[in-house]
Amino acid sequence: MKKNTFLLFTFLLFFPFGLLIAGEGMWIPMLLERLNEKEMREMGMKITAEDIYSINQASIKDAIVMFGGGCTGEIVSNQGLLLTNHHCGYGAIQRHSSLENDYLTNGFWAMSREEELPNENLNATMLMEMKDVTNAVLEGVSDNMTESERSKKITENKKSLIESAKKDTEYHVVIEDFFIGNQYFMIYEQVFKDIRLVGAPPSNIGKFGGDTDNWMWPRHTGDFAVFRIYVGDDNKPKSYSDDNVPYKPAYHLPISLKGAEKDDFTFVFGYPARTNEYLPSFAIDQQVNITNPIRIKIRQIRLDIFTKYTNNDPKVRIQYASKHAGVANGWKKMIGESKGVRRARGVEKKQQFEQQFNIWANSNVQYKNLISKFDEVYERILPYNLAYYYMIEAGYGVELINFARAFTNLSKIDKTTEKEAIEKMLADAQRRSESFFKDYHLPLDKEVAEALLAIYYNEQPIDFRPDFLNLINTKYKNDVKAYVAYLFAESIFTSPEKVAAMLNNFNYKKAQQLQKDPAFVAAKSISYFYTNKVMETINSIDDEINEMRRVYMRAQMEMQPEKRFYPDANSTLRVSYGKVEGFKPADAVTYKHFTTLDGIMEKENPDIYDYVVEERLKELYKAKDYGRYADKDGSVHVAFIASNHTTGGNSGSPLFNAEGHLIGINFDRCWEGTMSDLMYDPSICRNISVDIRYVLFIIDKFAGASHLIDEMTIVQ
Ligand code: ARG
Ligand code: ASP
């Protein structure tokens, strides 16, 4: 009785935090039945948790893979055909591209199995089974151990558990931690090693809207690519070999042409990489109000300089396309995240929660001072975090310095270094140099260096500056430009010829010269500074923070026993669910949940690279030649949004309808809701998917690769 009153009291007290709002959460597939199935069915799902994840029968999980290191892919035929995003396959497509065969620009379609292109170092990882091994991992671990004793014990336990598990399985075995070290799962997986490129649309479909539309809604990107998994003739993973055969999966996804109606139930199944939903207010405050703004500012300056040069020179535009995309992607995400947290009054909400937490924790010695300790420790780590970000964003933002860094090994050779080892380093250096100069524009980088090093020099306190910056003071009278002029005039890393000359007949004497190169000096000084002054402190404070976060996580769960918790994303397989719905991004603005081919024609602008529309697509549009891929409203739907909780890594994830049929491929989130990595707000957090009917339309009608459609299982 007493306990019940207490529960009721806590429930009322913590009501705003005690209820999860549908849409929020990245759930562990193995626990769906217990935690989510009921709600999913109430929301409209027609299949069962066992249909999604089962170890006794074929289930949807048998068609999902982690694609490469950071995306998701799904199998859509009994011949191992795989769908993911264009931006996930981008590297592979680019590597097969040349001026003669520019697959990035023109697209690529293998019209037969022989034409499918193998990719070195591209893997697809499939989860076979997971088990809760928390007790075994934490065996012998006690609360009064130090953090390093604890992690030593855990590492030992994990090692022996994995070793003994491996005796009974042919699969790859890993143990991952969940809820910040409060729960552990053993995961059995298969790693496929022969993944071939089958098809990719031209970039002005696969990347339509480019960086301008990135993270934005309304969106019209056909962000998909097609691959195939090959295996040995025993249907097991095998490295590339001519006689490998297409993989026969236990399950492949049926594809629905019904489309997504407003309010339809949907779920996403994939590999979200990293979220931080349980951080204290101080951490969020720092990220949103201090580190993000600095990183945004530095990136903004870089991007402006990129744009200045790329606007006037098509060659530079191609050279900097991928760098621009990378810098811009994070830049835009951080802007959206900071704005979103402020708009949702996220820091204040966390503070309110912490006040309630303190009331609850008051009588508990373990948790009593946790919040104020967080305050202190985040304050302490801030200058080191800043040092880290200035180093990454400003120091290594200078391409010349970053390039010189890659010669560290060579600079260390002496009389005793073996010839073979030197040869290998030289070959590496040669390769690196070629790929660097292929995409390097010196005047651009010099201007970046002037801007970024000035920021680094002026904004970091003296004892948080790597030594080379002090040259600006001692030798160049605070004139950053004069220092940069010297850097670019004296370094050999500015031209392929000079680098080649240096590599020619390389010996320990040349290594000594290399040590004096100003770009190398700068790179070395940054890394020395980082290893000796920053990393150690960050690591030791991180130990404290990790412990506190683990304890805080556990405490939050104890405090809200009625709440269903989901663990932060950690690059393991998860299910998110929600429904197809638009949102209101700003006062007086409402967004609909889908876009159409008409919108592509509206955005068309032959003068703007991001908005060029393929002739063939225009022909199909004019002739209304949509085959069976049009919606019942007569138009071709291109993309749609839904309230599924996703993050980086979910790119390429399948989006399912209530029947468990594939209706879209996830590729992004709406800008206003990118703070979902820190706090999910169901009113504005939306994931963006390309409509599977648009994907099939492009494969079939645009590319004429109908043999791929024939392999798939299409349901009405
Ligand atoms: N914003 C998406 C994600 O974080 C897509 C990035 C690729 N697209 C681009 N235009 N840069 O991965
Ligand atoms: N675009 C992201 C990805 O590549 C997805 C996201 O952050 O929503 O995984």
The three-state DSSP-derived secondary structure of 548-581 is: HHHHHHHHHHHHCCCCCCCCCCCCCCEEEEEEEC
- Residue having the nearest C-alpha atom to atom 2 of ligand 2: 648
What is the per-residue DSSP string for 634-647?
Answer: SSPEEEEEE-----
Q: How far is the CA of 625 from the centre of ligand 1 (A)?
A: 30
**185 contacts 571 by C-beta, under 8 angstroms:** no
**Three-state SS at 534:** helix
Q: How far is the CA of 421 from the centre of ligand 2 (A)?
A: 40
Query: What number does the ligand 2 atom closest to the CA of 649 have?
Result: 9
Q: Distance between CA 211 and CA 300 in Å, rounded?
A: 13
pLDDT at 592: 98
Share of the chain above pLDDT 70, in %: 97
Which ligand lies nearest the alpha carbon of 673? 2
- Residue having the nearest C-alpha atom to atom 3 of ligand 1: 668
- Tell me how far the alpha carbon of residue 18 is from its chain's centroid: 29
Query: What number does the ligand 2 atom closest to the CA of 87 have?
Result: 4
Query: What number does the ligand 1 atom closest to the CA of 214 have?
Result: 10
Which ligand lies nearest the alpha carbon of 208? 1
Q: How far is the CA of 383 from the centre of ligand 1 (A)?
A: 30
Q: Which residues pair with 665 in a beta bridge?
A: 654, 690
Return the exposure string of 194-215: e unless at least 16 CB atoms fall within 10 Å of the residue's CB, then b: bbbbbbbbbbbbbbbbbbebbb
pLDDT at 16: 41
Nearest to 219 by CA among 586, 694, 578: 694
Which ligand lies nearest the alpha carbon of 272? 2
Q: Distance between CA 172 and CA 178 in Å, rounded?
A: 19
To test the pocket of ligand 2, the residue of 650, 671, 676, 680 to mutate (highest count of ligand atoms within 8 Å of its CB) is 650
Cα 343 to Cα 17, 346, 348, 494, 684, distances in angstroms: 18, 8, 11, 45, 11
pLDDT at 292: 98
Q: How far is the CA of 648 from the centre of ligand 2 (A)?
A: 4
Return the exposure string of 472-489: e unless at least 16 CB atoms fall within 10 Å of the residue's CB, then b: beeeeeeebeebbeebbe
For 511, the token pair is: 């290594």
**Three-state SS at 690:** strand
Q: How far is the CA of 675 from the centre of ligand 2 (A)?
A: 13
To test the pocket of ligand 2, the residue of 86, 215, 669 to mutate (highest count of ligand atoms within 8 Å of its CB) is 669
Q: Distance between CA 691 and CA 671 in Å, rounded?
A: 19
Q: How far is the CA of 666 from the centre of ligand 2 (A)?
A: 8
**54 contacts 43 by C-beta, under 8 angstroms:** no
Query: What number does the ligand 1 atom closest to the CA of 325 have?
Result: 11
Which positions are catalytic? 87, 223, 651
- Residue having the nearest C-alpha atom to atom 4 of ligand 2: 651
To test the pocket of ligand 2, the residue of 668, 674, 680 to mutate (highest count of ligand atoms within 8 Å of its CB) is 668
pLDDT at 2: 39
- Tell me how far the alpha carbon of residue 315 is from its chain's centroid: 28
To test the pocket of ligand 1, the residue of 668, 670, 672, 688 to mutate (highest count of ligand atoms within 8 Å of its CB) is 668
Nearest to 605 by CA among 617, 593, 613, 595: 613
Spatial neighbors of 479 by CB under 8 A, at least 6 apart, are 472
Does residue 219 come out as left (phi exceeding 0), alpha (psi in the -120 to 50 range) or beta? beta
The verdict on whether omega for the bond into residue 237 sits within 30 degrees of 0, i.e. cis, is no
Give, to the nearest 10 degrees, the angle between helix 442-459 and helix 292-312: 160
What is the number of other CB atoms lying within 10 angstroms of the CB of residue 35? 16
Spatial neighbors of 112 by CB under 8 A, at least 6 apart, are none
Greatest Cα-to-Cα distance within the chain, rounded to the nearest angstrom: 85
Nearest to 267 by CA among 49, 519, 577, 508: 577
Q: How far is the CA of 279 from the centre of ligand 1 (A)?
A: 25
**Three-state SS at 656:** strand
Of 3.30.70.100, 3.40.50.2300, 1.20.1440.230, 2.40.10.120, the CATH number of 1-123+193-273+566-716 is: 2.40.10.120
Query: What number does the ligand 2 atom closest to the CA of 651 have?
Result: 9
In this structure, the residues whose C-beta lies within 6 A of any atom of ligand 1 are: 87, 207, 210-211, 214-215, 325, 329, 648, 651, 668
Q: How far is the CA of 558 from the centre of ligand 1 (A)?
A: 38
Which ligand lies nearest the alpha carbon of 91? 1
Low-confidence spans in the chain with pLDDT less than 50 = 1-19
pLDDT at 99: 76
- H helical segments located in 439-535: 442-459, 470-474, 480-490, 496-503, 508-516, 518-529
**Three-state SS at 200:** strand
pLDDT at 716: 78
Which ligand lies nearest the alpha carbon of 328? 1
Name residue 123's amino acid: N
Name residue 236's amino acid: K
Q: Distance between CA 387 and CA 377 in Å, rounded?
A: 16
- Residue having the nearest C-alpha atom to atom 7 of ligand 2: 648
Domain assignments of the chain as residue spans, ordered by start: 1-123+193-273+566-716, 281-553
For 148, the token pair is: 């390093």
In this structure, the residues whose C-beta lies within 6 A of any atom of ligand 2 are: 646-651, 667-669
Nearest to 567 by CA among 582, 581, 578, 556: 556
Kindly report the pTM of this predicted structure: 0.92
